[in-house]
Amino acid sequence: MRFLPRVPARRCRPALALTAGLVTLMTLAAPASALPFGSFSPRAQAMGGAVVASGTANDAAFGNPALLAARQRHDHFALAFPIVTAEAANARDFRDKLDAVQSAYDRVNSTIQACSGGSTCSGSARSAAVSALQRLDSSLAAIDGEPVEGDLFAGFSAGVPGSTAGVALFVDSRIVGDAVAHYDSRDRTQIQAAESSIQSTGTTPVNPANNVYSSGVFRGAMVTEAGLAMAHRFGTLSVGISPKLQRVQTIDYTAAIDNASFNRKTATSSTNANLDAGVVDQLGRNWRVGVVGKNLVSHTYTTDAGNRIHLRPSYRVGVARSKGWLTLAADYDLSTNRSVGGLGGDTRFLSLGAEFNVLDTLQLRVGVKDNTASGATFKHAITGGVGLRVLGAHIDLAAMKGGRELGAALQAGFSF
């Protein structure tokens, strides 16, 4: 039994050569910094993020425009609304450590009163104040440099896919950013000074809870897009482009680490044009390979705080095998993508997924999403989801769980 497809060499050689050439060019041109490649539908998220070669018409506008001319189903119209996906890395650990810091500050503020402002404490009051200061120091040290990353996407698409050509209108908005906490050396100095003074004299002229220098910083961008995805098929090769208009708002927040109040910098905004492009090559009846480049026009934005946020191209390659009720897919980022705010870890995802289609009505999906970049905040996650299609209407749900990674997605739509 043959596992690889039997395809006439004369027919597939030009398409394979073109696809391989595009992969090579994208790899050579790939920058080291780009907006991370996200999961833009529940189907993609449930299959580990794989979409480049395995996506449907509903995935085309956001995953690979060439999919519009690589129709597998008999649908002539596809509407998806709403599409909502969310992913986060290290959010729970960051929140727990931040709560511990804020609780430690409250404890210091309550216990040090008896040992400051000219008062002298002794015995249990002195021990309680010293213990609270030591706890605050250890809590701040634990959260120092701790990153957290988040990615929220919402969108709409309406398209007319085809076996030779297709088109889709899309609108979406994506908020992506990262945060990190900093333990300021001035806080460490005054905590140690207060502890030493209380231990030796029973009093301290400084309450570290009154002058907090340590902070949490959140930096990112909200990217809102409207565009038109178009694709045409040439033999076995489908080629697609998505010209789009983008409005990018930078986000740069600073928060005192002892409370939840933010010193918000006014968001800067800019409007510009951009472009996605991709190809899908049909290899026989069951195999497809694809390549996509997103945000092919580089832009750099400066926040009101003077920090730079880059929106640069990201590239991904994918392969899929579909036969009967089973689809297998794999995607891999061709470039290492840095966090958009420059505070989190790098990403270079390997996505593996499978879909089991039961009577063209119930779809069961599983996958794995692994970050192969070093020093990553997002490491790896197991994904899964379900889809239900009845009389053209469909709803899809997905979830993602890793050691420090969480995600969920929802989509409703109609096709006929």
Q: What is 9-91+156-180+216-415's CATH number?
A: 2.40.160.60
Each domain of the chain, given as residue ranges in start order, spans 9-91+156-180+216-415
Bridge partners (DSSP) listed for residue 173: 154, 224
pLDDT tens digits in sequence order for the chain, 416 residues long: 343 344 444 444 555 555 555 555 455 444 445 678 888 999 999 999 999 999 998 899 999 999 999 866 667 899 999 999 999 999 989 999 999 999 999 999 888 877 876 677 888 888 999 999 999 999 999 999 999 999 999 999 999 999 899 999 999 999 999 999 999 999 999 999 999 998 888 888 888 988 899 999 999 999 999 999 999 999 999 999 999 999 999 989 888 898 755 555 557 899 999 999 999 999 988 999 999 999 999 999 998 888 889 889 999 999 999 999 999 999 999 988 888 888 888 899 999 999 999 999 999 999 999 999 988 889 999 999 999 999 889 999 999 999 999 999 999 999 88
Q: What is the DSSP letter of 114?
A: G
Strands (DSSP E) along 235-348, which ranges? Answer: 237-256, 262-264, 269-283, 287-294, 299-302, 308-311, 314-323, 326-333
Phi and psi at 40, nearest 5°, equal: -105, 15
Under 8 Å CB-to-CB from 72, ≥6 apart: which residues?
56, 322
pTM of the model: 0.88
Q: What is the pLDDT of residue 186?
A: 95
Q: What is the pLDDT of residue 29?
A: 46
Amino acid identity, position 163: S
The total of other beta-carbon atoms located within 10 Å of residue 262's CB is 12
Cα 94 to Cα 105: distance, rounded to the nearest angstrom: 17
Structure tokens at 111: 């216990």
Cα 332 to Cα 348: distance, rounded to the nearest angstrom: 7
Phi and psi at 193, nearest 5°, equal: -65, -40
Q: What is the pLDDT of residue 260?
A: 56
- Residue 346: strand, helix, or coil: coil
